Structure formats: C-alpha cells, structure tokens
Amino acid sequence: MPDRGLRVDARGEELLLLPERAVFWPRRETLLVADAHFGKAASFRAAGVPVPHGTTADALTRVDALLDRTSARRVVFLGDFLHAKEGRSPSTVRALTEWRARHHAIDMTLVRGNHDRRAGDPPTKIAIDCEDGPLHEEPFAFAHHPRAVPGAYVLAGHLHPAAVMTGPARQRERLACFWFGTEIGVLPAFGDFTGVSEVRPVVGDRVFVIADESVFEVR
C-alpha cells in the first residue's frame, strides 16, 4: 500500500487522495485519473505553437509510479483522456501504445468527457473501454461532468479545481485540490499542461489541497 496520500471516507468507502493528482479506491483496487489531456502539447505543435515535448511522457511516468505503488488492477479515466483530434500525433500515439503494453494486465476504462467527443476514443490498439457514463459502482458513479446522480456519490473531473488559501501577513496561495461536496467529489486535473480554475467551496464541502508531496485537508 502506498505510504503517501490522505485517507478519506466517502459514503462509507475508504479513498486515498494522492499528491500525484489521482485517487485510489483500495477495496476495488482501482485508480481514478481525471483530465489527463494527453497530446495537448502535440495539438499545439501541430498548429505551429512550440510547446516542448515531455508533458505526455511525464504524465505517463506518473501513472507508472502510481500503478506500481498501489498495485491497482484497474484504471478509470474520468474524461478528457485525449485533448484534441490534432493531438493524435504519431509520437503521442506511440508513447501511449508503449505505455499500455507495459500494463497489459490492467483493465482500463474511459468515461468520455467533452474533449473526448471531439478528439475521438483512444485507438483500439491502446485497449481502453470507452463509455459515456455515468458508470455506476456502488456507492459511486464515475463521470466526467460533476453533475449529481440520484442514489450515488459522483466522482468526476472537468473543473480542474484549485483552492485559494489565505494566511497571516496577507499571504495567499492557489493550489490544485480535491473538492468533495455532499453529492459530488471533483478530482484535480492529472495533466501537467492543463491549468486550473479557482473553485468556490461552500460550508460543508471538504477541500484537500496538494502542497509539494503531500495532501492536506484545509478549512
């Protein structure tokens, strides 16, 4: 079991919030990853905007490390796996294929997000099951858009949430976070080249920020 991360309870299930911007569900040995946006840099390059190589490779290395540490048997991607049609470049597809081959024993599922609809499903040789979602798995519903699902606790992405922290002497910091409300839990965006947007938590929400290598609950 991984040593890092923060254990939280959601509808009686234990979840592990990981500083690598993912969630591990130990009982089902499942790793949840939202908003990877693979190939985003490649889609910029295709349009003549020079973004360096390395963002996709970095993200895949992080998934490798997580699979290794958690011994997960399954990965569920909560939408926006690929960024854009133009990002399906040979180098991106090659990197994804090689990565998939290294983890051929692991089941992978994608709950499609808004970007996937335009970018298309991952090539079949990458062997990822694709569904529109929400995907029901007692007590959770896996989805891309954070919309309530009756009778389930929704785990979703899409927002790329970040929380604003303030402190003494006028300190202020904006950090990627896990934002867990009473009905819906939103994961931070996994991709490096994705950006964040500030969220406005309300009383009763639980917010977990990622600072350096740790996850903290903040209030």
For another protein, the binding residues (CB under 8 A) are: 40-55, 58, 83-84, 86, 89-91, 115, 118, 163-173, 175, 192-195, 198, 200-203, 207, 209, 211-212, 214, 216, 218-219
Choose between 10 and 164: whose C-beta lies nearer to another protein: 164
Work out the number of other CB atoms within 10 angstroms of the CB of residue 148: 13
Closest among 121, 46, 57 to 89, alpha carbons compared: 46
* Residue 123 preceded by cis peptide, ω within 30: no
Question: Considering the complex, what minimum distance in angstroms separates the CB of residue 72 from another protein?
Answer: 26
Question: Considering the complex, what minimum distance in angstroms separates the CB of residue 167 from another protein?
Answer: 4
For residues 201 and 183, give the distance between their C-alpha atoms in angstroms, rounded to a whole number: 13
Choose between 105 and 197: whose C-beta lies nearer to another protein: 197
* Cβ atoms of residues 176 and 213 within 8 Å: no
For residues 180 and 192, give the distance between their C-alpha atoms in angstroms, rounded to a whole number: 22
Choose between 101 and 218: whose C-beta lies nearer to another protein: 218
Question: Strands 206-211, 197-198: parallel, antiparallel or unpaired by DSSP?
Answer: unpaired
Question: Considering the complex, what minimum distance in angstroms separates the CB of residue 86 from another protein?
Answer: 8
Question: Considering the complex, what minimum distance in angstroms separates the CB of residue 114 from another protein?
Answer: 10
Choose between 90 and 150: whose C-beta lies nearer to another protein: 90
Question: Considering the complex, what minimum distance in angstroms separates the CB of residue 216 from another protein?
Answer: 6
For residues 7 and 32, give the distance between their C-alpha atoms in angstroms, rounded to a whole number: 15
Choose between 126 and 211: whose C-beta lies nearer to another protein: 211
